[in-house]
Amino acid sequence: MEPANALKTFVVRVARTSAGRLRGTVEQVRTGRKELIQTVEDIGRVIAAMALRNEEDTMSLKGKHALVTGGSRGIGRGIALKLAESGARIAIHYYVNQAAAKETLERVRKHGADGFLVQADVSRAEEVRRMFGEVRQAFGTLDIFVANARPEAATFYQKPMDITLEAWDHAMDSQAKAFLVGVREAVPLMSPGGRIVAITYAPGGQKGTWQPWVAMGSAKAALESLVRYFAVTLAPRGITVNSVSPGLTDDSVLNSFPQAAVDAARSWHASGWTPMGRMGTPTDIGNIVGLLCSADAGWVTGQLIHADGGASLVDTLLPLEMQRG
């Protein structure tokens, strides 16, 4: 544990967008923790908050064991790092990108936590079971299960009239079936106070305009339904089950699309379609999952949490100019 009076080093990266707005990050060198900045004033505020953080106060999960699927990068990495920052030991699941998983594990250790890597194709039930077997062997118990893994968009990104049954099944197997099998494997390892969190994208299951997202949108809708059923089933055991729906998030599935699409999405949300004026970050989502995994969240179960900076509150039927008055 770093002494409270130890020297802390930060790296500030800033740039101007094409619209002239400031955009950047502040990174604490030892932990790799990053916070978004959008004004010059943000720099001092963020550094001060990070420097004054009492690390002992953040160790609410000390002694806990967590499994984060898809934890090697993006949102999964943000979640893994937040849980590690809070003291948990982390099983970091990956499918193909072992190098990214190793990098995440290194950053987990910079937070004073530890963990291990576990490889599996979560679309295959037998591999999900094997993954939990490795967790059982390494940890003995499990306190937190975060279902975040998602296949690459190319494996399912087809319109309703074009999608193959293989692509449809792959999306369903990687989400709803993987969660069904995963929860059944996780619960025998859990004691009262266990936490299960599924990462979803709720608009994809509620709307219909993102046509090539039909398989994943349907799979995520089934996943959200399972969250509610498991919440009722596991409530008598003191285990909570919730889902988190990020808005558009940097370093996520969005980055698999052409840069022009990414830039358009950022401009769209900065213009007001997200009331907070920006897209989310993996740290933002990690913070929300960390809250749900804390002891204080024991009365919250079966809920879908929109972690989107208010984007889900925006009326899409009217131009923003009319709504602002």
Question: Using one digit for the tens of pLDDT, what is the confidence trace for 302-316?
Answer: 999 999 999 889 888
What does the chain come to in residues? 325
Burial category of 3 from C-beta neighbours within 10 Å (exposed 0-12, middle 13-18, buried 19 and up): exposed
Residue 59: its pLDDT value, please? 53
Q: Give the mean pLDDT of 78-86.
A: 96
pLDDT, tens digit, 9 for 90 and up, residues 224-280: 999 999 999 999 999 999 999 998 888 777 777 778 877 887 887 778 888 888 888
Burial category of 51 from C-beta neighbours within 10 Å (exposed 0-12, middle 13-18, buried 19 and up): exposed
Residues of the chain with CATH 3.40.50.720: 60-324
Query: What is the reported pTM?
Result: 0.82
Look at domain 60-324 and name its CATH class.
alpha beta
Residue 2: its pLDDT value, please? 52
Between strands 65-68 and 144-147, the pairing is parallel
* Tokens at 230, concatenated: 């498991």
Nearest to 76 by CA among 283, 227, 248: 283
Q: Is 215 helix (H, G, I), strand (E, B) or coil?
A: helix
Residue 1: its pLDDT value, please? 46
